[in-house]
Structure 1
C-alpha cells in the first residue's frame, strides 16, 4: 500500500480546493483531521482529508493544507469554520492531534513519514502490507 500526502498549499485560498475535493470524493473519505503545532511561536493548524485506499493499486491519498491556518482554539477563523461545517454536513468528526512542526525536520519527506507513523500507530490509516 502506498500512502502519500498531497500538499495543496498552506491553507489560504487552497482550503477551498480541499473542501471541494472532500465534497466530491465523500464516498472515498475516511477521516477529516486537524494537526495542531507551534511554528516559531505561531500556533497553527494543518487540515487533512484522508481518503480510503483505491481498489486498484492500493493508493491512499492524504490531502493536506499544511501549517497555514491559525489554531482555531486560540484564534477562531473562517477557514477552520468552513472545514468544520463540511465535517458536520458529511457527519464526520474532525480528529485533532498535536504534532511536531515540519520545520523541525531536515526534509519535508521525513516530516510526512513521521506523521504517517503516528496515523498508523493510532489506526487511522492501515499498516503496510
Structure 2
C-alpha cells in the first residue's frame, strides 16, 4: 500500500526534504521529477517498503520550477540526490491542474508508477 505524504508546494518544505535525503537515504528507493507543460514540476521521494508493505511517497506538489534543466530548487534537490548516490528518474505527466482534486492526480500517478515498476504492485 502506498501513501502520498504531501510536504508542501516547494517553499520551506525544501529543507525538510533535504533532511529526509541526508538522514534516510538508505531507505530511498527512487527520486522522481514529474514535469508537465502547464505548471511547476512535482517531486516524489519514494521510500522502500516497511512493515506490511507500507510504502511512503513524500511529495513536493507542483512546486519545482524547471526550465531547460535549470531552476534553483531543481538543482538543489538534484545535488542532494547525487551526493547520496540516488538515481533520479524524470517523467513528463499530465498537469495536476488537469484533475479536479489532488487525490485524483495521486491516483493517476500511482498507475504510472506501478506500470513502470517504481512502486510495489497491487496485492
Structure 2 length as normaliser, TM-score? 0.92
Partner Cα distance (2:110, 2:67) in 1: 23
The number of residue pairs the alignment matches comes to: 123
Aligned pair partner of 1:64 in 59, 63, 71: 59
Which stretches in structure 1 are left out of the alignment for 5+ residues? Answer: none
Q: In the alignment, what sits opposite 1:29?
A: 28
Q: In the alignment, what sits opposite 1:86?
A: 80
Aligned pair partner of 2:106 in 112, 122, 128: 112
Tell whether 2:86 aligns with 1:103. Answer: no
SS of corresponding position for 1:48: strand
Which stretches in structure 2 are left out of the alignment for 5+ residues? Answer: none
Partner Cα distance (2:104, 2:25) in 1: 29
Q: Contact 1:72–1:80 (CA<8 Å) still a contact in 2?
A: no
* CA RMSD, 1 decimal: 1.4
Partner Cα distance (2:47, 2:122) in 1: 16
Tell me by how many angstroms 1:38 deviates.
Answer: 2.8
Structure 1 length as normaliser, TM-score? 0.88
Partner Cα distance (1:62, 1:73) in 2: 26
More helix by share: 2
